[in-house]
Amino acid sequence: MSDITNTSPQTTADIDSATLLEIADRSLLRHAGPFDGLLVERASGADIWDREGNRYLDFTSGQLCATFGHNPTELRDAILTSFDRAVHSSSLLLSEEVIRLAERLVGLLPAALSKVVMLSTGSEATEVGLKAAKMATGRWETIGVSRSYHGHTAGAAAVTFLPRRRGSGPGQPGVHAIPAPYCFRCPLGATFPECGLACLDVGMAAVDAQRTGEIAACIIEPILSTGGMIEPPDGYFSHLREHCDQRGIQLIVDEAQTGLGRTGDMFAFESTGMTPDVVALSKTLGGGFPLAAVAVTDTIAEQSECNGFRFLTSHMNEPSMALIGLAMLSLAEEHVRRGTAAKQGMRLKSALANLMEDSEMIGDVRGRGLLLGIEFVTDHTSRRPDTQAAASIASGCRRRGLLVQVVAGNVWRIAPPITVTDDEIDRAVSIIRDGLAEYEHHRAVRS
């Protein structure tokens, strides 16, 4: 950690970090592999400090939840206000806060999406969206997209097509996958736009051949984030909408990682020119607290309710979380109005593109707003994925005080808070440049 400037006083905790990590290893299930050695002491804005006082620029936004920075005053004020009113009541009871949040969400969405349900997590939002579509249509088969991620509960995991789905036995029946619109590595070996979106046409034809009944829903992310920062090309979503309409399929858009201003629009689907039947929200909506929501059309709401739709958890319609959601929506509206993510995203993406011109290891820079990706390759000609470079350079950046996340093996997801400053962007790019140079030097020495 010698490369990181110590900018915070040493902790006075009674237990040292090494002992805490030993306790964690004894006491906690390793739910995502070995535990990270970084023990968070505090966070503010784009910064995280560990227990030793080392400061890191968090360009993961706390797993994309801290979209407006860590610990914003608006979030603190909301949660404190809830202690003067009600923190929790019952999933079967409503409060003014919940009703106001529902009204605000509906007002931000297209008119067709008129009914909202308040939940806790993104996985729950996926479950509710799928269940509502199935019960509204009377159908039960579904379509997902390869390399997609929608959560870890049973229904969400069934439409998540990443290696993490392996090892737990058969998934839900009647689930189909269509190829990801991964233009940098087209599954059909084609080139956009000459391909005419063949991946989508071939995928839907394959589903038609395999299904045993009628399809209830198709679920997709506006940008396939965890699966490798894949942004579908122009025209993809309107063409998908056509396919769904031809078959009576309800189209679900999962905005967990893209919604509420991160891509520059309030919702990422707005730039596609089509309106989905269901929108799932989470992460940003809670700003670090457990809050999610699903919006559906009047038709889905009425038909699913008539067919006996029920969904209950202990933490739906929480007054405290609704107050937080209202605060997060105000921040989102402000930053969308100011064009913050678009402006800062342009600065960051341009700087990353300059790094790509100078480095054979960066094969592609892609994404929108402040949800960007870097794909690492051995060289520009072969485009062979380089997982070792992605992991090693990320580790080097961390030693220098920058946190980025490796997704899909050889791809970085770079998603700083929307509140990120010019100076923070420039510092992050400088750290990445140094990490690239260090890795290239070591690679040259090895060869």
Question: Is the separation of the CB atoms in 313 and 128 below 8 Å?
Answer: no
Give the per-residue pLDDT at 191.
94
pLDDT at 286 over 70: yes
* Region of residue 304 (left: phi > 0; alpha: psi -120 to 50; beta: else): alpha
Pairing of strands 402-403, 47-50: unpaired
pTM: 0.93
Separation CA 60–CA 414 (nearest Å): 6
Least confident of 1-10, 196-205, 306-315, 416-425: 1-10
Structure tokens at 54: 């080392």
Give the per-residue pLDDT at 12.
45
Buried b (16+ CB within 10 A) or exposed e, 395-426: ebbbbbbbbbbbbbebbbbbbbbbbbeeebbe
Read off the pLDDT of residues 131-164 as tens digits, 9 standing for 90 and up: 999 999 999 999 999 999 999 999 999 999 988 7
Question: Is the separation of the CB atoms in 57 and 403 below 8 Å?
Answer: yes
Give the per-residue pLDDT at 13.
57
Strand order in the sheet with 411-414: 362-368, 371-376, 411-414, 405-407
pLDDT at 11 over 50: no
For residues 77, 82, 83 and 89, what is the CA-based torsion angle, rounded to 10 degrees? -160
pLDDT at 10 over 50: no
Amino acid at 398: R
Separation CA 293–CA 324 (nearest Å): 13
pLDDT category at 222 given cuts 50, 70, 90 is very high
* Region of residue 386 (left: phi > 0; alpha: psi -120 to 50; beta: else): beta
Cα Rg of the chain (Å, integer): 22
Amino acid at 95: S
Task: Give the count of beta carbons closer than 10 Å to the beta carbon of residue 137.
Answer: 20
Separation CA 58–CA 44 (nearest Å): 10
Separation CA 411–CA 185 (nearest Å): 13
Which domains can be identified in the chain, with CATH numbers? 17-71+339-446 (3.90.1150.10), 74-337 (3.40.640.10)
Question: Is the separation of the CB atoms in 439 and 361 below 8 Å?
Answer: yes
Nearest CA-CA partner of 178 in 212, 213, 209, 133: 209
Secondary structure tally for the chain: helices H, strands E: 13, 15
Q: What average pLDDT does the structure give for the chain?
A: 93
Give alpha helix (H) positions in 178-297: 198-210, 236-247
